[in-house]
Structures are given as structure tokens and as C-alpha cells.
Amino acid sequence: MKPRTKKYLYVVTALFLLVLLYALKNTSYFARASSFIAAFVVFFIIDTIFGLKFRNRHYIIFIFIAATGILFSPLYYIYPNYDKILHLISPFLFCILIYYLVNKIQGISLPVKLFLTVSIVVSLLAFWELFEFGLDKAYDLKMQGVWIRDVTGMGKINMIMDRNEDTMIDMIIGTLGSIAFASGQAAGNYIKKLKNKIKNKN
């Protein structure tokens, strides 16, 4: 990452901290905002320590993933399909980040790179489901299962899909999202080669 970009990130982080101070009077929002910032800081630290050299677009992708998954988490209890949409889109976007790293490996073919990318993202998805299971067992945060806020508006939430079914569907949808990325990347590479072949003939 460029030094100028790092300065911008420091400024943005400082602004977020100011917002957090204001949000202290709202415990729920504070928890979401602090978790979002923590995720961003961890991503930044990993990028810096290991010299991954993520580009600006990769930071934008990660911010989008973190924002939709953490900051907008109340939508989980309002729109029941919100979780499923995220489990389709987020793995696809994570594939972009992972493929950027895998693509740097020399001496392996595109199919192998795509296989590694999909395998890593699906493994991360499985780890996340285990993480959710652990938190639910320890703190009953209701991260697994599909819950919808009660119409009475009294803070009650009702389960509309059990935990096991929700986990399996999430894994399937996430895998499909990862495969969609691999398929798109393979198709794009094939079209590029085809265009070059036609161009060389002419």
C-alpha cells in the first residue's frame, strides 16, 4: 500500500474513533462499530506485517464485507434472506482477495490457482461456522439459525430456521459463490486467450 494511502487510512481510523466516542451512549451500535474497526485494523496489520501489498480496491472490498456483515447486522433480524445473500456475495468477494495472493505463486496453472482459492475460502467459511457455533454455545448470541424480530416490537426474536439447516445452507451457498468466482475467472481467461488467438491470426 502506498504511504499516502496509509495516511488516509489513519485519518479515517481517527474519524471512526471519534464516532465511537459519540456512540458510547448506544451500547449496541458501539459493539458493532468497534467490531468493524477491529476487523479493519486486523486486516491492515496482516497486510503490513506479511507484506501482502493489497491494493486500494482490496481494502474497499474488505470494508464492504465487514460493513455488511457487522455494521448492518440488525438487518439479520428484519430481512430473513439477508444472511443468505451475504453468504453468496461475501465468499465471492473473499475469492478476489485470496486469488490476488495465490496468483503471485509461480509455476502453477490457472486451474490449480482457482482450486486453491476456492478451497481456502470454503475452509474459511467452515471456520467461521465453527466460530459462530462456539459463540452460541458460550454466550447464546444466536449467530446460527435464522431469527426474525417479533411483530410486537418488544425485543423478542423468533427462530424461523433451525441452526443445523441454516449452517448447511450457508455452507452450500458460500461454496456456490466461490465456484461462481472460479467459473468467471476461468471464462474470462478463456475469452482473453481466444481474442489473442484471433488477433494473431489476423
Residue spans of the domains in the chain: they are 1-71, 75-202
For 1, 55, 59, 101, the CA distances from 52, given in Å and listed in that order, are 9, 9, 12, 7
pLDDT at 78: 87
Give pTM, 2 decimals: 0.85
pLDDT in tens, 44-84: 999 999 999 999 999 999 999 999 999 888 888 888 899 99
Confidence of residue 140 (pLDDT cuts 50, 70, 90): confident
Residues 176-202 have a mean pLDDT of: 91
Percent of the chain whose pLDDT exceeds 90: 55
For 18, 115, 132, the CA distances from 144, given in Å and listed in that order, are 32, 28, 6
The partner residues of 161 in beta bridges, in order of sequence, read 146
Confidence of residue 198 (pLDDT cuts 50, 70, 90): confident
pLDDT at 150: 73
pLDDT at 23: 56
pLDDT at 114: 98
Task: Answer yes or no: is pLDDT of 8 > 80.
Answer: no
Percent of the chain whose pLDDT exceeds 70: 84
pLDDT at 81: 92
- Determine which of 12-16, 125-129, 189-193 has the lowest per-residue pLDDT on average: 12-16
pLDDT at 154: 54
Task: Answer yes or no: is pLDDT of 24 > 60.
Answer: no
pLDDT in tens, 158-172: 888 888 999 999 999
Mean pLDDT of the chain: 87
pLDDT at 37: 85
Task: Answer yes or no: is pLDDT of 125 > 90.
Answer: yes
